[in-house]
Amino acid sequence: MKFNLKNLVVAAAFVAAGGANAASFTVNEGGDLTVGGYLISGLTGSGSLTFSQDLLDTLNLGVVEVSNFGRANSTIDGVPGGYTAVSAAAPVTSLTGTPTSASTVAITEVGTSGGATQTLTEAGVDAGVADGTGFITITDLRVDLVNKDVYGTLIGGNGVGTVTNQKIWSFATISGPTTFDLDAIIAAGGTVTVSNTLTNLQIYDDALALLVQATNLNADLGAPALAGVNNGATGFGSITSNITITVSAVPEPSAYALMGVGLVGLGLFARRRAAR
C-alpha cells in the first residue's frame, strides 16, 4: 500500500482463549496500532523489484529507457539497449495482517510507494518493436501474500492514463517468514527484521494488454516478445522485501485502573497536607 497515514484500528478483539477470531489490521508507515495486548509501531523497510534477464533482453531489444519513479530508489546498470541489471527498491508503507492466536499475527499484504518507468522512444520504432512512442510506469505495489498476487498502479501513454489497483503479476513461491510471534519479539528486545523473496513473476493478460497499449508495442515483434517473458525460467523477475517492526506490550486495563487509583490517592494525600 502517504506519509504519516492514520492507523486503521482493529475492528474486533479476541473472542476465545487459545484462538483468535479477529478482523484484519493495517499498520502504516509512521504510525502505530494496538492489536490485542500489543502495540505495533516503527514500520520501516523496502520492497525491491529485480528485473529478470528475459525482461532485460526484451527491454534491450526495443532500446527501452528505464527511469526511477516516485519514492523508489532504482539501480540501473548499463544504457538503453545494453542494460545488464535493473531493480527498483520502494519503501514499505503498509503492513496488513490477521491475528492467528493470542500472541501471533500472520502478514497478508505489504504495500510500497514508488516504482519505475519504461519509455519507448523513436529508437524502439526503428528497432521494429513499436508502432510509435509510449511509456508505462508501474508504481505503488501491493503484494497479496495469501493469493500470491501483486497489484499496483499503472500510469501509461496512448490512452491508458492512470489505472489503480491493477492485478499485474502472480508469483510462484515465497521464501521467508510471514508470521510474527509478538511475545518472542518482545523477549528478543522488541524489534524484529524479516526478509522475504517472491519469485517467478507472471504477468496477467489484462496487465499485459495495458503495457502493450501504453508503450505502443506492435503485434509482429514487440508484444510477442513481452508476452514471452512469462515463459522464461524466472518470468518477469522477483521481489525481495526487508521489513522491520517494533512491538511492545500494552498494559492491561486493570493496570491503568490501579494507576488511576494511585494518582487519586496521591492527590488526596497532597490536599490533606495542604489543609494542615
Residue 215 has pLDDT above 80, yes or no: yes
List beta partners, residue 98.
106
Nearest-CA neighbor of 92 among 205, 2, 22? Answer: 2
- Answer for the pair 94, 108: CB distance below 8 angstroms, yes or no: no
Q: What local confidence, expressed as pLDDT, does residue 23 receive?
A: 86
pLDDT digit string, tens, across residues 22-35: 589 999 999 999 99
pLDDT digit string, tens, across residues 116-164: 999 999 999 999 999 999 999 999 999 999 999 999 999 999 999 999 9
Residues composing the chain: 276
pLDDT digit string, tens, across residues 232-251: 999 999 999 999 999 999 97
Q: What local confidence, expressed as pLDDT, does residue 22 receive?
A: 58
pLDDT band at 273 (very low <50, low <70, confident <90, very high): low
Give the residue-averaged pLDDT of 72-92.
Answer: 98
Nearest-CA neighbor of 205 among 168, 172, 236, 173? Answer: 168
| Backbone torsions φ then ψ of 52, nearest 5 degrees | -75, 165
> CB neighbours of 102 closer than 8 A, spacing ≥ 6?
14, 17, 18, 20, 36
